[in-house]
Structure 1
Amino acid sequence: MRKSLSLAAVLGLVALPALAQPMTTAPEIRPILEATQSSWVALREYEGQDLLYFTHLLAWRCGLSEIRYGLNDAPPETVFAMEPCHLDTAQPNAITGADIYLIESLGSVQSVSVEIIYDDGAVARMDYVRKAILMP
């Protein structure tokens, strides 16, 4: 009896692995995207072009219904295409080959406005100047 109680006590102190919970709805991803607004987009000068990356938003796209953007003081009306969520996999937010950036002429992107629409209809917007999102 004493052995079984000791074993039970030891087993009770051993942490069991937690199952990962997919973050696929607006209430789950909103706090993350609110905390990381400065990282929604990034700009890179590469091989004579401006590459505007949407990677961060795409990594949290499950929970979003749309990403819109506007360049150089244009309102965010252009839709950035997102691949669907892979809800039948262990990594529903995995990026499996869809475009993750726009290609523009070198130096042409001076500002970017980004609007995200969550799957619950809520909208958030951020405006960036080139210097704030330009990668070294």
Structure 2
Amino acid sequence: MNSLIPSIALAVAIYSGAADAQDTSGLTAEPQVATGKFLTATEVKPILNATQSNWVAVREFNGQDLVYVTHLWAWRCGLAQMELAINEGDYEVWDMPECHADEGSPGAIKSGDGDPYRSFELGSVQTIKVRLVYDDLTTAEAAFERASIMTP
């Protein structure tokens, strides 16, 4: 095993089609026309699959745990929905800002987009599970241990 990534994920699974446990009702599949601007699942899925260890991060700051989803926000243009479960809790939809599709950097995070993190009690976040629904309605899931996603 590569010593650089000994415990990145507790479990990793990529799903698609009807076998998904995730409820995608209310979501509509988007046309998958590659534009070169990374606006669709077709364009962002390979990147998110390759960078899965960067999906989320935990930072201790000002006496709190901050859970960051900055990487997912940067590739949100190909996502329909993002859900996180903290410490084996229930999955919760985490809102993402609108894609800036008409601009040069559609995945840019602007000052009006809000904060790409949420605060929790210091030391309380031990595991994070992530479920993504791409805009073609395929899904991906990953689970992470605190130690593997801590950032300074």
TM-score grouping bracket, smaller chain normalisation: 0.7 to 0.9
The one of 32, 35, 46 aligned to 2:47: 32
Opposite residue 99 of structure 1, the aligned amino acid is D
User: Percent identity between the aligned chains?
Assistant: 46
Whichever residue aligns with residue 67 of structure 2, its letter is L
TM-score (norm 1): 0.82
Partner in structure 1 of residue 78 of structure 2: 63
Structure 1: 5+ residue stretches without partners:
1-19
> Which AA in structure 2 matches 1:86?
H
2:145 corresponds to: 129
Cα deviation for residue 21 of structure 1 reads 2.9
Taking the TM superposition and a 5 Å limit, the aligned residue runs for 1:1-136 are 21-75=36-90, 77-97=91-111, 98-136=114-152
1:87 is displaced (CA, Å) by 1.2
Tell me the number of residue pairs that the alignment of Structure 1 and Structure 2 aligns: 116
The answer for unaligned runs of 5 or more in structure 2 is: 1-34
Instruction: Return the index of the structure with the highest Cα Rg.
Output: 1
Structure 2: how far apart are the matches of 1:58 and 1:40?
Answer: 9
Amino acid at match of 1:108: S
2:4 matched residue in structure 1: none
CA contact 1:71–1:112 (8 Å) conserved in 2: yes
CA RMSD of aligned residues (A): 1.2
Alpha-carbon distance between aligned partners in 1 of 2:104 and 2:39, rounded to the nearest angstrom = 12
Deviation at 1:73, TM superposition (A): 1.1
- C-alpha offsets along residues 33-73 of structure 1, whole Å, 9 cap, x if unaligned? 00011110000001100000000000000000011000001
Distance 2:61 2:115 in 1: 16
Tell me if the contact between 1:69 and 1:115 (Cα under 8 Å) persists in the aligned partners.
yes
SS at match of 1:56: helix
Query: Structure 1 runs of 4+ off > 3 angstroms?
Result: none
SS in 2 for 1:132: helix
Structure 2 letter corresponding to 1:109: V
Q: Secondary structure at the match of 2:77?
A: coil
- Range 60-69 or range 90-99, more displaced: 90-99
Larger proportion of helix? 1
Asked if structure 1 preserves the Cα contact closer than 8 Å seen for 2:36 and 2:43, the reply is no
Q: Bigger relative contact order, structure 1 or 2, given CA contacts below 8 A and separation 6+?
A: 2
